[in-house]
């Protein structure tokens, strides 16, 4: 027994060092640097979010940001893939429509909306993107996976209007569109816009950013 103990310690020490090194390596590297994710990530997309609270548009947007745990971007303009997790930005309606129609690999976000009718985008904790907008109360109640068919045609407004007072956030990776956003008042460049689209129950792997 004594001779066995004399032979084993070097091997035991080596194995212990190797084990500890493997356990510690991932947390140490994971903790360094800011967290970023490419849009949208290859993970299960989050479900749609509805906030059934009355209030002004500014108040409803604050409620949604708190719900999604996001804060304002720290830079003027940044691509979604480079934006930090837990942040939100804005994108002009035409830029959003073009990115979704052409299946662009990324989105350009602004810290401050350049137009009144810009859409808001949240980069949530798991790296996925949520598109924030407004819907009618009846339509908003149907966007949860358990309440909708495989494909649900929805109209998402950039701003709160009489016909769409309920704020929602829908996963970008579950959207399929075939047309550009339309202004409610064609004569006004800053008129609220509406984006007609299909909301899918499963991730649309042909959406922007899907590799």
Q: Same structural domain for residues 161 and 123?
A: yes
Read off the pLDDT of residues 44-76 as tens digits, 9 standing for 90 and up.
556 899 999 889 999 999 999 999 999 999 999
Residue 75 CB contacts under 8 Å (≥ 6 apart), including other chains? 111
DSSP H or E stretch at residue 179: none
Q: Same structural domain for residues 75 and 125?
A: yes
Q: Same structural domain for residues 82 and 15?
A: no
Give the residue numbers spanning the domain of 25: 1-30
Q: Same structural domain for residues 55 and 98?
A: yes
- The verdict on residue 35 lying in a domain is no
- Is the pTM higher than 0.95? The answer reads no
Read off the pLDDT of residues 175-184 as tens digits, 9 standing for 90 and up.
999 889 999 9
d(CA 211, CA 68): 25
Residue 104 has pLDDT above 60, yes or no: yes
**Arithmetic mean of pLDDT, 185-194:** 94
Q: Going along the chain, which residue ranges are E strands?
A: 49-51, 71-72, 77-79, 87-91, 108-110, 119-123, 129-135, 151-157, 166-171, 175-176, 182-183, 193-200
Read off the pLDDT of residues 21-31 as tens digits, 9 standing for 90 and up.
444 444 333 33
Q: Same structural domain for residues 83 and 165?
A: yes
- The verdict on residue 37 lying in a domain is no
d(CA 92, CA 84): 20
Q: Same structural domain for residues 16 and 76?
A: no
Q: Same structural domain for residues 55 and 151?
A: yes
d(CA 26, CA 198): 40
Mean pLDDT of the chain, nearest integer? 80
- The verdict on residue 144 lying in a domain is yes
Smallest CA-to-CA distance from 91 within 154, 39, 163 is with 39
d(CA 73, CA 18): 41
For residues 91 and 30, the model is more confident at: 91
Q: Same structural domain for residues 24 and 90?
A: no
Q: Same structural domain for residues 118 and 189?
A: yes
Read off the pLDDT of residues 161-175 as tens digits, 9 standing for 90 and up.
999 999 999 999 889
Read off the pLDDT of residues 142-160 as tens digits, 9 standing for 90 and up.
887 665 657 889 999 999 9
- The verdict on residue 211 lying in a domain is no
Q: Same structural domain for residues 108 and 22?
A: no
Q: What percent of the chain has pLDDT over 70?
A: 71
- The verdict on residue 210 lying in a domain is no
Q: Same structural domain for residues 10 and 79?
A: no
CA 108, distance to chain mean position in Å, is 13
In the chain, count of helices (H) and strands (E)?
A: 4, 12
In this prediction, residue 103 has a pLDDT band, given cuts at 50, 70 and 90, of confident
For residues 211 and 55, the model is more confident at: 55
- The verdict on residue 207 lying in a domain is no
Per the structure, the count of domains in the chain is 2
Residue 186 has pLDDT above 80, yes or no: yes
Residue 200 has pLDDT above 90, yes or no: no
């Amino acid at each position: 027994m004594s001779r066995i103990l004399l032979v084993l310690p070097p091997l035991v020490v080596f194995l212990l060092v190797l084990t500890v090194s493997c356990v510690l390596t991932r947390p140490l590297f994971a903790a360094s640097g800011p967290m970023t994710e490419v849009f949208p990530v290859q993970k299960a997309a989050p479900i749609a979010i509805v906030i059934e609270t009355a209030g002004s548009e500014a108040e409803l947007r604050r409620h949604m940001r708190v719900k999604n745990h996001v804060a304002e971007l720290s830079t003027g303009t940044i691509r979604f893939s480079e934006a930090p997790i837990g942040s939100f930005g804005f994108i002009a309606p035409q830029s959003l429509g073009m990115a979704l129609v052409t299946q662009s690999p990324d989105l350009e976000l602004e810290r401050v909306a350049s137009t009144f009718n810009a859409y808001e985008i949240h980069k949530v904790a798991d790296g996925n993107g949520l598109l924030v907008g407004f819907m009618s109360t009846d339509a908003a109640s149907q966007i949860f996976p358990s309440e909708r068919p495989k494909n649900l045609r929805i109209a998402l407004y950039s701003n709160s209007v009489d016909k769409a007072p309920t704020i929602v956030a829908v996963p970008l990776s579950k959207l399929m569109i075939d047309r550009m956003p339309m202004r409610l008042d064609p004569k006004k460049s800053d008129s609220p816009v509406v984006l007609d689209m299909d909301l899918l129950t499963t991730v649309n792997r042909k959406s922007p950013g899907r590799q």
